[in-house]
Homo-oligomer: A and B are copies of this chain.
Amino acid sequence: MSYSAPIKDMSFVMNELAGLDDVGRLPGFEEATPETAQSVLEEAGKLASQVWAPLNVAGDRQPAQWSEGRVSATPGFSEAFRQFVDGGWQGLSHPVEYGGQGLPRLVGAACLEMQKAANLSLATCPSLTDGAIEALLMAGSDAQKTRYLPRLVSGEWSGTMNLTEPQAGSDLGLLRARAERHPDGTYRIFGTKIFISWGEHDMSGNIVHLVLARTPDAPEGVKGISLFLVPKYLVNDDGSLGARNDVQCVSIEHKMGLKGSPTAVLQYGDEGGAMGELIGEENRGLEYMFVMMVSARYAVGMQGIAVAERAYQKARDYAKERVQSRPVDGSVQQSVTIVHHPDVRRMLGTMRALIEASRAVAYVAAAHADHARHHPDASARAEHHALYEFMVPIVKGWSTEMSVEVASLGVQVHGGMGFIEETGAAQFYRDARILPIYEGTTAIQGNDLIGRKTVRDGGAVAKRLVGEIGQIVQALAAHPAFVDSPAFMAMHRHLAAANQSFANAVAFMLENAKQDPNAAYMGGVPYLKLVGIVLGGWQMARALLASQRLMQEDPAFHGAKIATAHHYATHLLPQAGALEATILGARDGEGVLALSEDQF
């Protein structure tokens, strides 16, 4: 059950596709040279493969245990987490002034991928801490920042996000948790929160819960939600830990996967109210949470890429080892390792093509996030910000849907052994299944992509992307390699067609999102998948160009990149046309949109 960090693949994407050198030229990132990035990745890879990865199965077989309000993490997790904290990994992309290393998100993305691939359950914990750090950086008071940030950035304390209640999942307007003002300026929090990842555990000195709740006079719905910081242990003015706060973990869930990550039900205020500090202003909680959620969604997308990579490595290793059946082309009369069979190649090729494409999209998005924060020019920052925001639902929605498919193919490559738990392929299939759900289901990502990301700016960002992809299509055709390269020809043909489908879908959304919203939003997930496939194809085409250029440096590596791009062109890009037809075929009052509830 080993994991080998794909550093060479990651570096290729960072350097050739995501522009690490440009990121390294941004103010504040002067130290992020390709050499530094390489050594950071190597160190991260060691921790991931040597310390975290061997515990991944333990998380599944010996899940966190609840007893009388306390949760013990899987044996070994605390020590592995300690090594992460001691190495300063929690603060990798966080500000230097609070003890972080201030490295670009692009570098952080690769490290994140490794951590999540090595141990998806364990890696969830520091990602939630990242969210708490972001929220405090954005809206915390100076006192809050001073009190909480250094110990969150160091990893000494962990963070959580408390949104969901039994009646309020995607629909935060329904949430009921209450926050009563206290004379000392703090609040008392009451209510039940569910699905709180790492909501209680024994790996950190303190847990900083970020909790959405309503003040007594708040407006109804999403406009009356405020954000509170509720520490598990109160923090004295000298920074020492005080009394236990009135928040209790009353149970943890029995889940299909991600079992090493305890999913808590937290009860606030049963003994008079949990002390909570308001973050920012009252009734602006959802706004802050949305900013946090952008990062959280990005991180979940990385989870998808990571678990897919892990599933691929396992399936690939099995395919090279398992001997079964003669080649269909009759080239050998003995049974051969199954990696020689065309369908196994198809499956491994599809897994790999999806992983490489979604990784490239995610890393390119991370580079946009870096530019959006650090570029000296405000309009450039805005432009990069818009591109990043457009890509986040793709990174979240497409990469996680992809991960379920890839993990399922991973099981299939193993044949009957894939269904046996001891083999380990099944864990990835079970673990991956939560990813298209939490932090906003794929439908929510699709709605976001239509409403806030495509329609609100009149399709400006979407059309800009269509234009950039069109330029790559032209570059393929204009390339000297074109006439002799089946890969170039296939990519040119299928990317051009898929990009046209993208353009047509954008036009459909612009025309229909307001006038026929049911039809438009029925196409939300297909639209998200279409855009994911096309953006992935765009990056695979850029990878193809880069590998063609670099071929002589490493023929085996770049030859594989070209083959994978070719596979992407013929096996993935054609889906764009099918999705376009589906999206454009919707009308309100037709098909299943016309059915009464009883007819289902």
Cβ–Cβ < 8 Å partners of A586 in chain B: 570
Name the residue of chain B whose CB is nearest to the CB of A555: B599
Q: Chain A 33-56, CB within 8 Å of chain B: the 1/0 string?
A: 000000000000000000000000
Q: Chain A 410-444, CB within 8 Å of chain B: the 1/0 string?
A: 01100110111110001001100110111001110
Q: When A412-B442, A595-B345 are in contact, do A566 and B582 touch as well, CB less than 8 Å? A: no
The stretch among A68-76, A163-171, A292-300, A359-367 that forms the contact with chain B is A163-171
Q: Are A595 and B419 in contact (CB under 8 A)?
A: no
The stretch among A116-124, A464-472, A572-580 that forms the contact with chain B is A572-580
Q: Are A170 and B415 in contact (CB under 8 A)?
A: yes
Cβ–Cβ < 8 Å partners of A590 in chain B: 486-487, 563, 566
Cβ–Cβ < 8 Å partners of A567 in chain B: 591-592
- How far apart are the CA atoms of A258 and B426 in the complex, in Å? 13
Q: Are A171 and B325 in contact (CB under 8 A)?
A: yes
The stretch among A132-140, A266-274, A334-342 that forms the contact with chain B is A334-342
The stretch among A105-113, A232-240, A516-524 that forms the contact with chain B is A516-524
The stretch among A6-14, A86-94, A249-257 that forms the contact with chain B is A249-257
Cβ–Cβ < 8 Å partners of A477 in chain B: none
- How far apart are the CA atoms of A434 and B257 in the complex, in Å? 17
Q: Are A600 and B441 in contact (CB under 8 A)?
A: no
- How far apart are the CA atoms of A579 and B597 in the complex, in Å? 34
Name the residue of chain B whose CB is nearest to the CB of A434: B419
Q: Are A522 and B325 in contact (CB under 8 A)?
A: no
Q: Are B325 and A170 in contact (CB under 8 A)?
A: yes
The one of B254, B494, B522 that contacts A343, using a Cβ cutoff of 8 Å: B522
**How far does the Cβ of A283 sit from chain B's closest Cβ, in whole Å?**
19
**How far does the Cβ of A385 sit from chain B's closest Cβ, in whole Å?**
26
Q: Chain A 315-338, CB within 8 Å of chain B: the 1/0 string?
A: 010011001110111100001010
Cβ–Cβ < 8 Å partners of A429 in chain B: 256, 433
- How far apart are the CA atoms of A352 and B582 in the complex, in Å? 16
- How far apart are the CA atoms of A577 and B442 in the complex, in Å? 25
A348 interface residue (CB < 8 Å to B) = yes
Cβ–Cβ < 8 Å partners of A559 in chain B: 594-595, 599
Q: When A256-B430, A415-B170, A590-B486 are in contact, do A570 and B582 touch as well, CB less than 8 Å? A: yes
Q: Are B343 and A524 in contact (CB under 8 A)?
A: yes
Q: Are B446 and A419 in contact (CB under 8 A)?
A: no
Name the residue of chain B whose CB is nearest to the CB of A164: B416
Chain A interface residue bracket vs B: 35 or more
A393 interface residue (CB < 8 Å to B) = no
A408 interface residue (CB < 8 Å to B) = yes
A303 interface residue (CB < 8 Å to B) = no
The one of B255, B447, B578 that contacts A574, using a Cβ cutoff of 8 Å: B578
Q: When A408-B433, A590-B566 are in contact, do A421 and B560 touch as well, CB less than 8 Å? A: no
Q: Are B591 and A335 in contact (CB under 8 A)?
A: no
Interface SS of A by simple majority:
helix
Cβ–Cβ < 8 Å partners of A304 in chain B: none
Contacting B at CB under 8 A, from A360-419, are 404, 408, 411-412, 415-416, 418-419
- How far apart are the CA atoms of A592 and B319 in the complex, in Å? 14
Q: Are A556 and B599 in contact (CB under 8 A)?
A: yes
- How far apart are the CA atoms of A301 and B506 in the complex, in Å? 39
Q: Are A174 and B324 in contact (CB under 8 A)?
A: yes
Most chain-B Cβ atoms within 10 A of its Cβ — which of A348, A559, A587, A599?
A599
**How far does the Cβ of A9 sit from chain B's closest Cβ, in whole Å?**
12
Most chain-B Cβ atoms within 10 A of its Cβ — which of A337, A438, A494, A518?
A518
The one of B167, B171, B564 that contacts A592, using a Cβ cutoff of 8 Å: B564
**How far does the Cβ of A262 sit from chain B's closest Cβ, in whole Å?**
13
**How far does the Cβ of A533 sit from chain B's closest Cβ, in whole Å?**
10
- How far apart are the CA atoms of A325 and B444 in the complex, in Å? 11
Contacting B at CB under 8 A, from A476-491, are 486-487, 490
- How far apart are the CA atoms of A521 and B575 in the complex, in Å? 20
Cβ–Cβ < 8 Å partners of A258 in chain B: 419
Q: Are A522 and B600 in contact (CB under 8 A)?
A: no
Cβ–Cβ < 8 Å partners of A434 in chain B: 416, 419
A596 interface residue (CB < 8 Å to B) = yes
Contacting B at CB under 8 A, from A530-571, are 556, 559-560, 563-564, 566-567, 569-571
Cβ–Cβ < 8 Å partners of A327 in chain B: 518
Q: Are A521 and B343 in contact (CB under 8 A)?
A: yes
A457 interface residue (CB < 8 Å to B) = no
**How far does the Cβ of A554 sit from chain B's closest Cβ, in whole Å?**
11
Q: Are A563 and B599 in contact (CB under 8 A)?
A: yes
Q: A343-B443, A578-B578 are in contact. List 15 more A-B contacts (CB 8 A).
A: A171-B324, A173-B325, A253-B420, A256-B420, A339-B597, A342-B519, A342-B521, A345-B593, A345-B595, A418-B437, A430-B430, A570-B582, A571-B585, A575-B575, A575-B578
Query: What are 7 inter-chain pairs, A to B, with CB distance below 8 A?
Result: A164-B416, A169-B415, A343-B447, A352-B600, A411-B433, A419-B437, A574-B578
